[in-house]
Amino acid sequence: MAEHFRIDELKRRLEQDPSSIAFAQLAEALRRTGRVEEAIEACRAGLVHHPAYLSAHVTLGRALIEQGELEAAQAELKEVLAAAPENLAAIRGLAEIHQQRGQQGEALEQYRRALTLAPNDPDLEETVSRLAAGLGASPPPSPAADEAAAGPSADATAKPPADAPTTADIPADPTPAARRADALERWLDAILADRERSA
């Protein structure tokens, strides 16, 4: 109910001043309440006065996606990304377009790009993992994997325990990442056991 009141208020503001930037808020409110065609009209009318208003282009792009007009939506979002390459909403919108077209590889590329900008977004993490699994691609690296890629810590290199495993100790596994994770885990277990013996 509050959203409908806000829409009415924004419409009144635009009636008094058709060049007001309130069109962008109105369009987004209309889109969120499912009034997609009105949102598209509001965006296009306002962008005549404010063609460089990027958030309005994003709203228009998202509304066009919901309307099924993927070509027009892609054009809007690419225009945003040309001006602001790290616009998260535009990147996610582009990923959604690729996904709707069945272009899962391109969608995954865009979702991964979004995840680098919003690394703690659980929805993005889940989407990237699901798409990667479906394509047989590797999922995004975890912080632990980043630490492993950076090399062993000073503790690990200073005094390796005598019983630390080598790569020859790792059982055969078809997944190289699983072998590396297993070796790292066993290496850390051996360091802890050595420290306990020394304590």
Give the chain's domains with CATH numbers: 2-135 (1.25.40.10), 147-198 (no CATH)
pLDDT digits (tens, 9 = 90+) for 108-127: 999 999 999 999 999 999 99
What pTM, to 2 d.p., does this model score? 0.67
pLDDT digits (tens, 9 = 90+) for 56-69: 999 999 999 999 99
pLDDT digits (tens, 9 = 90+) for 33-81: 999 999 999 999 999 999 999 999 999 999 999 999 999 999 999 999 9
Q: Which of 83, 93, 22, 29 is nearest to 62 (CA)?
A: 93
For 93-97, which contacts have Cβ atoms below 8 Å and span 24 or more sequence positions? 93/58, 93/61, 93/62, 93/65, 96/65, 97/65, 97/70, 97/73
The pLDDT assigned to 134 comes to 86
Tokens representing residue 35 in the block: 């009034």
